[in-house]
């Protein structure tokens, strides 16, 4: 089976822009449709078909938009993830062959975090729904653990630019999986180009494994004067859990990072996907170059 007609939802988002670019650059010359909300003001290249739909994702409108489409990619924001059930219903009704859900980040999560953060429960529920219905429509879930440049710049990796302070967990030496947005976007397209290798499975992809310490050392080569605090993972994580239970949702990002701050690894797992789809990856230094380019552009804006 080969796929020709691709529909991307969320093409103007942080990841969606990269997926769209790689779709356009693919040698397979896809017929590309972007599904855009009526409230969106984003502009797209002339060789991309743009279909608008109401912001509440009505199934009948989605069904019309998906007619003749082989693959639907959902690259949605956290606040829109629940709309995927409407999207999947429309896919089934329209005969869509393959669906890529809004996964992309963490692949598996502890129950305590699922209970605290509704977004992740939705991700698991969507995946379960796809598995139960894979006789009607194939699926592929692309997971990268952490978006590297966003993690470095946003404070997610506990490196806080506004305060010039880094909080290192257990010394910050544990290595965890990370990928640039560009590589994740490429992984989605490579999965479409290799449909049998990516059929009905999770693809764990990465650029590299890194650590808080490696990231901070790279930053300090350019920007000095950082305060560094070292904490033990157990009490640090427990304090965040208790804060969220009391209503402080600002700690949810900390808890999400906490699920892999003590290290994780994708290579060797059954879902490991880099080789399966022939994914070209970036080195740590190349990824830092991507971060610095974006960081400096924001500073000038």
In tens digits, the chain (301 residues) has pLDDT values of 799 999 999 999 999 999 999 999 999 999 999 999 888 889 999 999 999 988 889 999 999 999 999 999 999 988 889 999 999 999 999 999 999 999 888 887 888 888 887 777 898 899 999 999 999 999 999 999 999 999 999 999 999 999 999 999 999 999 999 999 999 999 999 999 999 999 999 999 999 999 999 999 999 999 999 999 999 999 999 999 999 888 898 888 899 999 999 999 999 999 999 999 999 999 999 999 999 999 998 888 7
Give backbone dihedrals phi and psi of 176, rounded to 5 degrees, phi first: -130, 160
Q: pTM for this one? A: 0.95
**What pLDDT was estimated at residue 192?**
99
Please give the helix or strand (H or E) that residue 52 lies within, else none: strand 49-53
User: Of 26, 24, 86, 88, which Cα lies nearest the Cα of 59?
Assistant: 86
Sign of CA dihedral 19, 23, 25, 27: positive
Query: Which of these, 37, 42, 26, lies nearest to 65 by C-alpha position?
Result: 37
Half-sphere exposure at residue 132, Cβ-oriented, CA atoms within 13 angstroms = 7
Listed residue (129, 163, 180, 143) closest to 259, CA to CA: 143
How far does Cα 16 stand from its chain's mean position?
Answer: 10
pLDDT of residue 109: 81
Distance CA 174, CA 203 (A): 23
């Amino acid at each position: 089976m080969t796929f020709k007609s691709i529909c991307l939802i969320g093409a103007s988002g942080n990841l969606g822009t990269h997926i769209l670019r790689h779709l356009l650059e693919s040698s397979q010359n896809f017929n590309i449709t972007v599904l855009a909300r009526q409230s969106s003001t984003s502009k797209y290249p002339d060789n991309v078909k743009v279909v608008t739909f109401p912001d509440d994702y009505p199934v009948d409108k989605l069904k019309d938009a998906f007619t003749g489409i082989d693959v639907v990619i959902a690259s949605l924001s956290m606040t829109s993830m629940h709309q995927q059930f409407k999207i999947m219903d429309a896919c089934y009704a329209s005969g869509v062959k393959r669906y890529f859900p809004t996964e992309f980040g963490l692949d598996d999560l502890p129950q305590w975090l699922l209970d605290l953060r509704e977004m992740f429960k939705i991700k698991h529920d969507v995946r379960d729904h796809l598995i139960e219905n894979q006789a009607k429509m194939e699926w592929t879930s692309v997971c990268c653990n952490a978006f590297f440049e966003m993690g470095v710049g946003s404070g997610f990796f506990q490196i806080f630019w506004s305060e010039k302070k880094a909080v290192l967990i257990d010394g910050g030496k544990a290595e965890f999986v990370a990928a640039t947005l560009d590589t994740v976007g490429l992984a989605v397209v490579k999965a479409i180009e290799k449909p049998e290798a990516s059929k009905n499975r999770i693809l764990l992809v990465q650029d590299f494994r890194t650590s808080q310490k490696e990231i901070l050392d790279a930053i300090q080569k350019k920007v000095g004067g950082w305060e560094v605090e070292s904490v033990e993972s157990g009490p640090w994580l427990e304090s965040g859990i208790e804060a969220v239970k009391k209503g402080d949702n600002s700690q949810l990002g900390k808890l999400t990072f906490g699920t892999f701050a003590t290290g994780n690894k994708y290579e060797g797992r059954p879902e490991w996907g880099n080789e399966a789809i022939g994914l070209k990856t970036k080195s740590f230094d190349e990824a830092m170059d991507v971060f610095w380019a974006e960081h400096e552009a924001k500073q000038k804006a």
